[in-house]
Structure 1
Amino acid sequence: MNSTKKHAVWQLIKPFWVSEEKGRAWGMLIAIVALSLGLVYISVLINQWNQVFYDALQNKNYPVFKQQLWRFTYLALSFIVLAVFKVYLTQGLQMRWRSWMTEKFMDKWLAHQAYYHSEQQQLVDNPDQRIAEDLNVLTRNTLSLSLGLLSSLVTLFSFVSILWHVSGPLSFALHGHAFTLPGYMVWFALLYALLGSLIIGWVGKPLVRLGFDQEHYEANFRFGLIRIRENHDAIALYQGEKQEAQQLGERFAAIRNNWWSIMRVTRRLNIASNFYGQFAIIFPLLVAAPRYFSGAIQMGGLMQIASAFGQVQGALSWFIDAFNDLATWKACVNRLAGFNAAVEQAHHQSRGIALEADAAQPLALHRLSLQLPDGQTLVQDVSLTLQRGERVLIAGPSGGGKSTLLRAIAGIWPYGAGSIRRDASLSALFLPQRSYMPIGTLREALSYPRPADVYHDEQLLAVLENCRLQHLQRWLDTTNNWSQRLSPGEQQRLAFARALLARPDILFLDEATSALDDETEQLMYERLVATLPDVTLISVAHRNSVAKYHQTCWRLSRQPEGSAQIMPDSLPKAG
């Protein structure tokens, strides 16, 4: 792992351990380490018990045999208690870590509209999966792998001296020369684990990339299924089932093909690791058998050697045993590092359009130009001022940049040049063409983005009636997916109800009445103007019928080079 990747890993892992949670986190970690050391100590005692117990069996020493059975009972019970509490504390620490990281990642993703900009520029795929699943894998596997490595190191140092002592020297002749290898079982364990680790690492290396791709394909397939659920009405009207099935089939084919690749690598990995694990059971007995049959050691010594060899070999085989988890962890780290980099890029991207605070007027555009992310110019060199209480209609051809202009005023569209000045003391509300409906009670959907308890029932019921939604009054405290339950027209009327409740100083309507019939559209504007007579209003609309509710028209006219100019015109007052 190069220094850049190490830095990325450290940047993901470090923050929690130096955060406000560090006291409890380090306390739990120290307790887990202490329990791990206790488990290793009991394993050492059980290894010593092996020699005494099996020697008692060989010598038919019943009193010692019975004594050792009782000793094994309390050793086993102690091991069970420590193991249970270790798992319990580890799970608790993992959830605390995951909760903290999830909160920080969500805050970072939502801050400065990073979720919006990263999606606009396609900086990262499936951010929902990276927050929901990858953070879980990162915290769980980081703890399990690091604690497993620590336990293996402590086990190794605890049992190497035992294995060195009980295995004794091995004498042999080679080319007429006599050699003695002290603690020969230790060297056999090292050699066995080294060869196994090299083979397993070589065989399983492709799993890192394959695991990364599998997560990507799974998320794409799941996203396709969600899209069908969210757009079931339109798909049914288009009779697009065949096309949707084809797209889902292609996405699932990617999952299936990548899974077959994973299966092939896993098959080779399992052959190698299972052979390694099974042969490790008999290997120490084969190597120690000559000394046993020569009478140099008894049955208890042979069993102690086999047990100690297993502990040393198991500790040295940490990489082999943890390889699958390491591959998953590495793929997860890569995905989270990519997500983190994308969000950072969205936070620090340069803004061509300057947003400035100016209390002189509600809104002023100074030499404003709007561009698409690819650099294409939509609107060129616009300077306009909006007075308090003025109502402006933005009109022009489709695709000319009307909605983009509103997004730039909202501060979420950075592509372009010039400046936008707004009075920061004035409250603003934007009603897009497709209104957002949070899943929850109708009260919460109506109050959004404010808390549900801000308004009294009388206010909510009255505004529903004013917006021709009185049939929804009985569902005020009913939880539902309102974007699916309500028609587009009902959703747009509910958005107007929000505006009447919020009473903003500046209101932006981006084709917010496109799903309404002409009569209802005019009714919504009449209620809006009557209820909020002093509101500063900017509307994007295609119907001329709403022009009478505005005083000024900003008309976009396309120029020969492709960009548009904005020309202000006065509108006749409503009769």
Structure 2
Amino acid sequence: MANEKIGVMTFERLPNEIVLECLEYLNALDIFYSFNQLNNRFDQLIRTIPLHINGEFASKSIFDQFCLRMLLDPTIKHQISSINLSGDPTCYQIRSFLSFVSLDELPSLRSITLTRLEKSDASKFISILPNLSNLRYLHLIEPTSDVKWGSTFLPISNSIESLLPALFHFRSLTHLTLSNCSCFDLSHLLEYAPMLNYVNCHQLSFHSRWSYWFSNFNNHKAVYLKKMSLTGFFAPFEYIEILTKQTPNLTNLTISSVVNTDIVDADRWQSLITSSLSRLKVFKFSFEFLFYDNDVSNIIDKYDHFQNDFWLKEHRWYTEYSYEEDRAKIYTVPLGAFSFILSTQLTAGGYSNTLPKISNKFDNINILTIYHPDVPNKSKYYFPNVKELKLNFCDVEQNQNVPILTGSQHVQSLKSIVNLSHVTYLEVVHNPELDIVHLLINMFQEARQLSRLCINSHHISVLLESSPLYKHLKTLRRLCIASYPTCFTNVAVMKKFCRIFSGLEYLSCGVKETNHSLVLLRQLRNLSLLVIEFEIYENRIDSITLENELREMNALFRIEHNVTARGNGIVSHRTYLRLFFEHLNPVLFQWTFLFASVDPDTVNNIGLLPSEYNFQLGKSPSERNLSEFHWLIIRSFLYVTINALLKSFSTFLSSILSIQWRTRLIIYLHSFYFKQQRFYHMLHHSTSSDEKQTVDNPDERITQDVDSLCRSLSTITPLLLVSPFTIAFYIYRVWKVTGYYGPLGIVVYFFLWTGINRICISAVSRTIFRQNIFEVFHLYDHLTTLELVQKIGETIFVIGYLIFCFNQLNDTASDVAIIASNTHRVQSFIECMKNNSVDRFETQIEEDVLHHDEVLLIRNLSYTLPNNEQMMLMNNLNLTLYPQQRLLITGGSGVGKTSLFRVLHSLWPTKSNGLFSYKPDQAYLLPQRPYFTNCSLYDELRYPHVDRYIGQTQIEQLLNEWKLSHVLNCVQGDVYQCSKQLWQDLLSSGEIQRLSFIRLLLRLTSNEPPRVNLIFLDEITSSVDVRTEMSIYSCLIDQNLTMISIGHHESLRQYHQLELELFENGNYIIRNI
């Protein structure tokens, strides 16, 4: 502990210049997690440096905390210089980040790295791209084929054409990385981004457009391009010859090709480098090709052409060759690739002994796949920097030439070719006969950083029975289990698995039943992501039931269905479930219990202090010991101080516990309350006679009742947990002093306090008193006066404190009553919400009955007031609307115009067997009184599609166009700043209606599917002038929409084609205008 304190002090004494230089090497997420609000100095320092956000392997909670901090402190946005985010299911960082901030709000952003960009995020990202004027580095990366998480992501090659116009807007881009693209697209990228200095394409494909590109080659020169890496080259050699005409100043070229004999031509490469790449200094390649009939001479012949003076003396480009079965490879050393496959059939050769020895041939290899560690020619291989190790032992037992090793022998053999100290990921596949237990035990001992593991499902049962592995398995953070067949046969096995793998943050596996996924969710306390695959051959799982259960648990999730065919003709229906959640930290509860349990012991020591003082002060002067008295004073001070601190900490932790419980409960109630229109039914049907469908004051139940419940519960929970132990301890202490009559009398006294006559209690008390007097003559004859005084003081305290404990427990009855009352109100609220699901309405939107040329279909629709079935509002309405038709609904007040909209949106039920049909996801309702709160203008305009991105420039343009630019003054010109008052209080009704119309325009102009083609307008111009009304409806007509409007103004008729006039008693007329 002392060393740690010295380290902290030394770091704080460093000058600001050195501290700033150190911080620039750290991840922004870690910087703010560690130093934010530490002290004023660090608060200022971390807000002056460029921030680099790297989401790789970042904790979801830390990532979300940083995003929230960035939202609360907008100045952080100006510091962000680079971002590295992933869209894969290990948190969906791209989507989460963009929900907090738009990339064009980061003025200092120079580098973007996005892995697994989903289709839903791609269009948003491409639309933002032209606004990033300072961007220099762009890396769009797809996952490799062996990634185990699985999802539907954007194929980068399919979006290059849409990316090119965006690149044209910031021609200063200098670094670009793409997962894959075509030859045609790469050539055009060099034209659209002429300032490129570095290009990396992980896979360069070749297709039918090659001939067109070849004949229409654009001789544009990328004169700034210095470094190019084509790590997956599938094009013919002619393409390289043409491409190099665009890159005359290239100094560094890395290229790898698979199964392409045409490109393994040393003479042709020498001619190309001499004529077109005269400035090339670094050339790294790996050429793989096929050879037949074990004709090694053909390999040596190709290799020898790379051994002349041009390669070895002029450029010092040294090469080796290797071959196995029907494949051969010629490559430069050291290797430029990041991955390598080492098999038992691999034979290496070449590299003359007369050339200088190269010891770092495999330094760049981070991902290594080994088919057997006991490979021939071990001395030629050593991999010092491997981070991901994959052991693929599928055919070891079938190969008679390869020795079978035990698990420990495997690791010992691996150590001779791999530096295991850097390994963080281990994958062990195939070979069920492998000694997995001893392999992992030895691997954990050698690979201290190992935290990610991928194994087969049949390995799990073995690991669960191996107790020596338990301590190592608890350290794992990520686990991927081959999902077929599932390793979880029953719930008992799953619970044991959760106990052993208790540290998991990410888990991917397969289960048989839906309830098994819920067991994993509840038992694994540290999980941030759970990916589950259900594999059922006949019918898909009942995902609706599963979704309802997950919503009850307040979990964020995604369910994806995938249908695949196996070789035997069986069709496999796979359902993937992804869960994102954060459990309540049990450490907080444990500390609360610890402080509450230690407190009675300190109280006991404090209570005995008076008797010790009496004993010390009662001694004669000759017997007094000053050192003992001083020690008593010191102990008194320590006990009182510790007791005060314990009580303070216990109260503090109980308050935090109350806040966490309250947060989780309120989030759960909110997520339930604002779904399926429950809040509408509970607020507007409050006069219903059905008590199961109504409750009083829903808002009060969510806020005040939950607050009171959590406060009371957090107050008495430690007391109820600790009281039995405290009472048992003091019963023992009283028994030692008074015998069994003392505890018995106190217990009887406590339990009979409210139920037995006081006379009986008095009799019991007198009996106990007489018994104690009688025992005094026998129990304390051997004690001196001083000792007797001390004993009396101790007895008074322990008896008194035991009675106090019982009374304290009795006093909790009032708190329990409060908890019971609040629990009843909250539970009745939850039951009411369940009963108010829209499922209880018979009305359903029948989309299947629509013809392709119909937008809205209504047949025999009748309805009344929900609470007064005698008041008919509509009687057998029949109506059909086609694309671009515009209907105006008119009528007197109270005839049911707005009620029709409520019925069409399933807010009110219908009578008889009437039906209506339209596509809800393509419809939009603009109410007369729009819903606006006090949140930011940005969020108000995105509602109800809060995950949609809107640029600030676009918002400002629309506000100016509709004469609402002054609205920005309410938030000091910042659309992301929350309003201090409700927007209804700040703006007039006409301004609110115009702002609501801007919300509709943003939805109509959005490129996100599905496109709106039907809009319901409920008196949206009732508070604006005629000119504004004309502008609004003219704008809507230009959108070629189908419109249904409610209005009283005669001026509205000119914008519509049909009129539906409503009368009392449910009568109506439909006519042309």
* TM-score computed with the length of structure 2 as normaliser: 0.39
Q: Secondary structure, in 3 states, of the residue corresponding to 1:317? A: helix
Aligned residue pair count = 458
Superposed, 1:526-565 pairs within 5 Å as 526-530=1034-1038, 532=1039, 534-558=1040-1064, 562=1065, 564-565=1066-1067
Q: Secondary structure, in 3 states, of the residue corresponding to 1:454? A: coil
The one-letter amino acid paired with 1:334 is H
In structure 2, distance between residues paired with 1:454 and 1:23: 30
In structure 2, distance between residues paired with 1:516 and 1:438: 21
Superposed, 1:100-499 pairs within 5 Å as 100-122=664-686, 123-168=694-739, 183-197=740-754, 290=773, 297=780, 298-347=788-837, 350-358=840-848, 360=851, 361-374=854-867, 375-376=869-870, 377-417=872-912, 418-426=914-922, 428-451=923-946, 454-472=949-967, 477=974, 479=979, 480-499=981-1000
C-alpha RMSD of matched pairs (Å): 3.7
Instruction: Tell me what 1:39 maps to.
Output: 599
Using the TM superposition, give the Cα deviation of residue 392 of structure 1 relative to its aligned residue in structure 2, in angstroms.
Answer: 0.8
Using the TM superposition, give the Cα deviation of residue 468 of structure 1 relative to its aligned residue in structure 2, in angstroms.
Answer: 4.0
Structure showing greater relative contact order (alpha-carbon pairs closer than 8 Å, 6 or more residues apart): 1
The one-letter amino acid paired with 1:521 is E
Using the TM superposition, give the Cα deviation of residue 20 of structure 1 relative to its aligned residue in structure 2, in angstroms.
Answer: 8.6
Are the counterparts in 1 of residues 655 and 714 from structure 2 also a CA contact under 8 Å?
no
Using the TM superposition, give the Cα deviation of residue 453 of structure 1 relative to its aligned residue in structure 2, in angstroms.
Answer: 7.7
1:305–1:21 distance in 2 versus 1, CA, 3 Å: farther
Are the counterparts in 2 of residues 288 and 302 from structure 1 also a CA contact under 8 Å?
no
Are the counterparts in 2 of residues 113 and 412 from structure 1 also a CA contact under 8 Å?
yes
1:543–1:21 distance in 2 versus 1, CA, 3 Å: closer
1:496–1:450 distance in 2 versus 1, CA, 3 Å: same
Are the counterparts in 2 of residues 352 and 415 from structure 1 also a CA contact under 8 Å?
yes
Deviations 1:486-525 (A, max 9, x none): 2212222222222222214221111112223344333322
Using the TM superposition, give the Cα deviation of residue 93 of structure 1 relative to its aligned residue in structure 2, in angstroms.
Answer: 2.4
Are the counterparts in 2 of residues 109 and 343 from structure 1 also a CA contact under 8 Å?
yes
Instruction: Tell me what 2:467 maps to.
Output: none
Q: 2:587 aligns with which of 18, 27, 34?
A: 27
Instruction: Tell me what 2:305 maps to.
Output: none
In structure 2, distance between residues paired with 1:116 and 1:70: 65
Are the counterparts in 2 of residues 409 and 420 from structure 1 also a CA contact under 8 Å?
yes
Instruction: Tell me what 1:91 maps to.
Output: 655
In structure 2, distance between residues paired with 1:334 and 1:112: 23
* TM-score computed with the length of structure 1 as normaliser: 0.70
The one-letter amino acid paired with 2:996 is A
Deviations 1:203-244 (A, max 9, x none): xxxxxxxxxxxxxxxxxxxxxxxxxxxxxxxxxxxxxxxxxx
Deviations 1:15-34 (A, max 9, x none): 79xx9989654333233323
1:526–1:550 distance in 2 versus 1, CA, 3 Å: same
Are the counterparts in 1 of residues 934 and 983 from structure 2 also a CA contact under 8 Å?
yes
Q: Secondary structure, in 3 states, of the residue corresponding to 2:837? A: helix
Higher helix fraction: Structure 1 or Structure 2?
1
Q: 1:515 aligns with which of 1012, 1020, 1023?
A: 1023
Gaps of 5+ in 1: 1-13, 169-182, 200-278
1:62–1:529 distance in 2 versus 1, CA, 3 Å: farther
The one-letter amino acid paired with 1:549 is Y
Are the counterparts in 2 of residues 463 and 501 from structure 1 also a CA contact under 8 Å?
no
Instruction: Tell me what 1:568 maps to.
Output: 1070
1:126–1:373 distance in 2 versus 1, CA, 3 Å: same
Are the counterparts in 2 of residues 149 and 318 from structure 1 also a CA contact under 8 Å?
no
In structure 1, distance between residues paired with 2:614 and 2:755: 35
Instruction: Tell me what 1:231 maps to.
Output: none
1:383–1:98 distance in 2 versus 1, CA, 3 Å: same
Using the TM superposition, give the Cα deviation of residue 142 of structure 1 relative to its aligned residue in structure 2, in angstroms.
Answer: 1.3
In structure 2, distance between residues paired with 1:384 and 1:197: 73
Are the counterparts in 2 of residues 430 and 508 from structure 1 also a CA contact under 8 Å?
yes
In structure 2, distance between residues paired with 1:405 and 1:540: 10
In structure 2, distance between residues paired with 1:125 and 1:131: 11
Instruction: Tell me what 2:61 maps to.
Output: none
1:465–1:125 distance in 2 versus 1, CA, 3 Å: same
Using the TM superposition, give the Cα deviation of residue 419 of structure 1 relative to its aligned residue in structure 2, in angstroms.
Answer: 2.2
Gaps of 5+ in 2: 1-551, 555-578, 687-693, 757-761, 781-787, 1005-1011
Using the TM superposition, give the Cα deviation of residue 103 of structure 1 relative to its aligned residue in structure 2, in angstroms.
Answer: 0.8
Superposed, 1:54-73 pairs within 5 Å as 54-60=614-620, 62-63=624-625, 64-73=628-637
In structure 1, distance between residues paired with 2:680 and 2:821: 25
Q: Secondary structure, in 3 states, of the residue corresponding to 2:676? A: helix
Q: Secondary structure, in 3 states, of the residue corresponding to 2:1017? A: strand
Using the TM superposition, give the Cα deviation of residue 535 of structure 1 relative to its aligned residue in structure 2, in angstroms.
Answer: 1.1
Are the counterparts in 1 of residues 838 and 906 from structure 2 also a CA contact under 8 Å?
no
In structure 2, distance between residues paired with 1:546 and 1:41: 81
Using the TM superposition, give the Cα deviation of residue 147 of structure 1 relative to its aligned residue in structure 2, in angstroms.
Answer: 1.7
Q: Secondary structure, in 3 states, of the residue corresponding to 2:883? A: coil
Are the counterparts in 2 of residues 167 and 288 from structure 1 also a CA contact under 8 Å?
no
Are the counterparts in 2 of residues 432 and 512 from structure 1 also a CA contact under 8 Å?
yes
The one-letter amino acid paired with 2:878 is S
In structure 1, distance between residues paired with 2:617 and 2:669: 60
The one-letter amino acid paired with 1:339 is F
Identity %: 25
Q: Secondary structure, in 3 states, of the residue corresponding to 1:112? A: coil
Higher gyration radius (CA): 2
Deviations 1:533-554 (A, max 9, x none): x111110112222112111122
In structure 2, distance between residues paired with 1:110 and 1:40: 45
In structure 1, distance between residues paired with 2:745 and 2:616: 28
Instruction: Tell me what 1:3 maps to.
Output: none
1:50–1:102 distance in 2 versus 1, CA, 3 Å: same
Q: Secondary structure, in 3 states, of the residue corresponding to 2:933? A: coil
